[in-house]
Amino acid sequence: MRYMKVSVGAAVNSPPLSFYDSNTKTNNKQQPIEAVVDNLVGGLRYRMDVRAVTEAGEGDYSAASDTVHVEMPILPPPRPSSRIEIVYNTIHSTDMGIRYSTSMFNTKHGYLKKSALIVAEVNNNNENTINSITDSQNKTFTWGQAQQFDLWPAYIAVETAIEPLRKFIPPHFVSEIIGADGTCNDIEVDTICNGPLKPATSYRFKLRLYTSPDMWTDSEYSEIATTSWFIHCF
């Protein structure tokens, strides 16, 4: 026997993955073969078949009774390696533009369900002590709930459903105007709303990705951006 061929097929309509172990030696002893199968998706069930390859060609797949089935666990997404970018020429007194790349999306731990844009105000020392408290409690506010604080804690401004794709190739940029909704005072305070920012105030932003409602991972915060003063026209 020259080597072993292992095919891995998911329980969805996708071509099987194959890899080879060329270190298999020809002998009569049964030796265990270890291999690492990467690029699998959390939450999917996979079937693994093995067949031998000789100079005469490939043998039959292993018997159905020998087939191995593995279901990958769903976990919080891997942490994105990049951050949200500020679009500085879009900064106004109560809103500003940001953008992020879908290269931040990684389905290794499961299909992504949705994303959320998190906004946090910072003080003159570029800090927000409230955030350390809410982070330890695993809590994030809405824009309406943040209004009760002089220094706004981190809140969700925008939530967006993500199409269930294995890979987001080629990557593209997603743009959003933070602070664009002027109707947030007219709805319930616990409703997610992209309400206006405060003039002459510093903020930073991060992206949250979900594999399930209670499993998420945040990117690092963006650079700090400051809204402009009101400009009165006469």
User: Which CATH number does the domain housing residue 212 bear?
Assistant: 2.60.40
Dihedral angle sign, alpha carbons of residues 198, 201, 207, 212: negative
pLDDT at 181 over 50: yes
Residue in the block written with tokens 């949250």:
208
Both 102 and 202 in one domain: the answer is yes
**Residue 179 and residue 195 in contact, taking contact as beta carbons nearer than 8 Å:** yes
pLDDT tens figures, 113-168: 999 999 999 988 766 656 655 555 567 899 999 999 999 999 999 999 999 888 89
Lowest-pLDDT range of 23-32, 45-54, 139-148, 159-168: 23-32
How far is 225 from 208, CA to CA, in rounded Å? 19
Q: How many domains does the chain have?
A: 2
Structure tokens at 224: 């700090």
- Given 71, 99, 129, the domain boundary residue is 71
Residue 77 lies inside a defined structural domain of this protein? no
Parallel/antiparallel/unpaired status of strands 225-226 and 202-212: antiparallel
Residue 79 lies inside a defined structural domain of this protein? no
Structure tokens at 85: 């970018």
Both 63 and 89 in one domain: the answer is no
Both 112 and 50 in one domain: the answer is no
Q: What is the pLDDT of residue 8?
A: 54
| Mean pLDDT of all residues belonging to the chain | 83
Q: Can you give the pTM of this predicted structure?
A: 0.76
Structure tokens at 2: 């020259």
> Which residue type, as a one-letter code, is found at position 217?
T
Lowest-pLDDT range of 12-26, 46-60, 154-168, 190-204: 12-26
Dihedral angle sign, alpha carbons of residues 200, 89, 126, 130: positive
